[in-house]
């Protein structure tokens, strides 16, 4: 828990005790407040961003620990994120963080760590200066504090505290914002492909929290038993019913019509009762084989998520157990690799997220 705090102390030589306490506070409590006036918050953010000059030297995010990061608004990588999306991310993060039960204990522990690190001469201020500040601060009830003028002058902080889960997805979220602005008169369709257990479903779920969208899963279109011929399974990507997916999902989406489809239930080998989804501004297709060339140019954006082999096996083991891990390693993962290689899925993706192999 002290790694991020220690790094912040070492990399900000103008840091004052109050700024260090603010770091600890944000690590425990996030932004420290909910958005009670959305219009005012939107206006403030718009004016703040308008005053900034984007810079490639500023990192998109800085870790706070506790599953939180600072999203730096002056980062050039933040430029494609809309104000509306930033506010949605901030609001969702604040609501979740403030509902946690261990924030007070975490904050107390961080202040203790700050005192220890300062006594070890890691901080750019003295232990005496910190002790004097903390005595007064604790006497006031440990309120949320602002940055000092020294810190503002040196580092010009302009950020929002958000959950770390959004960090790896911010490039994709920014691309979606751009596409939605461009495609205001039609549906935007993106597809998220990638390795098993790389986080495709989680990614789609996070996006669904932020955008008015429909999500379709390629897992619902596994090839039914009667179509699993030797010839079909020998085909790269042949173990998904891409014909049915194209007819039942992509065709009506591209026509701006409701989608009615039946998900395939692997346990029973049958189709479940049909579901109907009305048109949305954004459609997310997630799952391996979603970039199959059979679908042509149906997508506005192809994203792919990579993962290291060690992390992939660890996640599958945790999620599915040893027996299913063996099945993945012996059968499903090799089939995916054949598909990825046959159609150069990662090479042709518009955006690749995650760890590289």
Provide the pLDDT confidence category of residue 8 given band limits of 50, 70 and 90: very high
Looking at per-residue pLDDT, the higher value among 209 and 35 belongs to 209
CA distance 258 to 278: 4
Encoded tokens for 56:
């490639």
Provide the pLDDT confidence category of residue 33 given band limits of 50, 70 and 90: confident
Let me know: does 255 contact 279? Beta carbons within 8 Å. no
Whether residue 267 is predicted with pLDDT greater than 90 in this model: the reply is no
Looking at per-residue pLDDT, the higher value among 263 and 32 belongs to 263
Prediction pTM value: 0.94
Q: Specify the pLDDT at position 34.
A: 81
Whether residue 273 is predicted with pLDDT greater than 80 in this model: the reply is yes
Averaged pLDDT, 213-225? 96
Whether residue 317 is predicted with pLDDT greater than 80 in this model: the reply is yes
CA distance 320 to 318: 6
Whether residue 1 is predicted with pLDDT greater than 70 in this model: the reply is no
Encoded tokens for 121:
């001469």
| 76-109 confidence digits (pLDDT tens) | 999 999 999 999 999 999 999 999 999 999 999 9
Q: Specify the pLDDT at position 16.
A: 98
Whether residue 2 is predicted with pLDDT greater than 90 in this model: the reply is no
Q: Specify the pLDDT at position 115.
A: 98
What average pLDDT is seen over the chain? 96
Q: Which of 4, 6, 43 is nearest to 27 (CA)?
A: 4
Instruction: Give the pairing type, strands 188-194 and 282-286.
Output: parallel
Q: What percent of the chain has pLDDT over 90?
A: 96
Q: Specify the pLDDT at position 36.
A: 87
Counting every residue written for the chain, the total comes to 357
CA distance 110 to 120: 15
Whether residue 279 is predicted with pLDDT greater than 60 in this model: the reply is yes
Q: For tokens 């730096």, name the residue.
A: 72
Q: Report CA torsion sign: 69, 74, 77, 80.
A: positive
Provide the pLDDT confidence category of residue 355 given band limits of 50, 70 and 90: confident
Averaged pLDDT, 298-324? 97
Q: For tokens 């050039």, name the residue.
A: 76
3-class secondary structure for the chain? Answer: CHHHHHHHHHHCCCCCHHHHHHHHHHHHHCCCCCCCCHHHHHHHHHHHHHCCCCECCCCCEEEEECCEEEEECCEHHHCCCCHHHHHHHHHHHHHHHHCCCCHHHHHHHHHHHHHHHHHCCCCCCCHHHHHHHHHHHHHCCCCCCCCCHHHHHHHCCCEEEEEHHHHHHHHHHHHHHHHHHHCCCCCEEEEEEECCCCCHHHHHHHHHHHCCEEEEEHHHHECCHHHCCHHHHCCCCCCECHHHHHHHHHHHHHCCCCEEECCEECCCCEECCCEEECCCCEEEEECCCCCCHHHCCCCCEEEEEECCHHHHHHHHHHHHHHHHHHHHHHHHHHHHHHHHHHCCHHHHCCEEEECCC
Averaged pLDDT, 66-76? 97
CA distance 282 to 200: 17
Averaged pLDDT, 9-23? 98
- Domains of the chain, with CATH numbers? 2-166 (no CATH), 183-354 (3.40.50.300)
Q: Specify the pLDDT at position 35.
A: 87
Kindly give the interhelix angle for 83-98 and 38-50, rounded to the nearest 10 degrees: 120
| 106-119 confidence digits (pLDDT tens) | 999 999 999 999 99
| 134-186 confidence digits (pLDDT tens) | 999 999 999 999 999 999 999 999 999 999 999 999 999 999 999 999 999 99
Q: For Cα atoms 249, 253, 258, give the angle at the middle one, nearest 5 degrees.
A: 85
Averaged pLDDT, 195-199? 97
Q: Specify the pLDDT at position 356.
A: 58
């Amino acid at each position: 828990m002290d790694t991020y705090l220690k790094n912040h102390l070492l990399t900000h030589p103008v840091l004052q005790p109050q700024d260090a306490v603010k770091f600890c506070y944000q690590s425990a409590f996030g932004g420290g407040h909910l958005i009670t006036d959305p219009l005012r918050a939107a206006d403030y953010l718009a004016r703040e961003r308008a005053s900034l000059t984007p810079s490639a030297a500023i990192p998109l995010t800085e870790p706070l620990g506790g599953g939180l990061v600072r999203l730096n608004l002056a980062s050039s990588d933040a430029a494609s994120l809309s104000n509306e999306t930033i506010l949605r991310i901030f609001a969702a993060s604040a609501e979740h963080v403030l509902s946690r039960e261990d924030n007070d204990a975490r904050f107390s522990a961080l202040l203790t760590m700050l005192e220890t690190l300062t006594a070890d001469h890691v901080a750019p201020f003295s232990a005496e200066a910190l002790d004097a500040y903390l005595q007064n601060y604790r006497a006031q009830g440990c309120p949320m504090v602002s940055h000092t003028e020294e810190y503002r002058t040196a580092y010009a902080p302009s950020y929002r505290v958000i959950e770390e889960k959004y960090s790896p997805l911010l490039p994709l979220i920014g691309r979606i914002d751009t596409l939605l602005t461009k495609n205001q008169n039609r549906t935007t369709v993106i597809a998220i492909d990638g390795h098993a257990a790389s986080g495709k479903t989680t990614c789609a779920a996070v996006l669904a929290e932020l955008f008015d969208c429909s999500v379709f899963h390629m897992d619902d279109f596994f090839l039914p038993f009667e179509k699993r011929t030797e010839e079909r399974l020998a085909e790269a990507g042949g173990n998904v019913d891409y014909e049915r997916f194209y007819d039942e999902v992509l065709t009506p989406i591209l026509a701006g019509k409701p989608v009615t489809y039946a998900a395939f239930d692997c346990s029973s080998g049958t189709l479940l009762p049909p579901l109907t989804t009305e048109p949305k501004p954004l459609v997310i297709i997630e799952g391996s084989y979603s970039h199959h060339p059979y679908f042509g140019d149906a997508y506005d954006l192809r994203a792919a998520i990579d993962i290291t082999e060690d992390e992939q096996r660890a996640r599958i083991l945790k999620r599915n157990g040893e027996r299913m891990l063996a099945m993945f390693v012996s059968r499903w993962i090799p089939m995916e690799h054949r598909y990825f290689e046959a159609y150069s899925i990662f090479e042709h993706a518009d955006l690749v997220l995650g760890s590289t192999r």
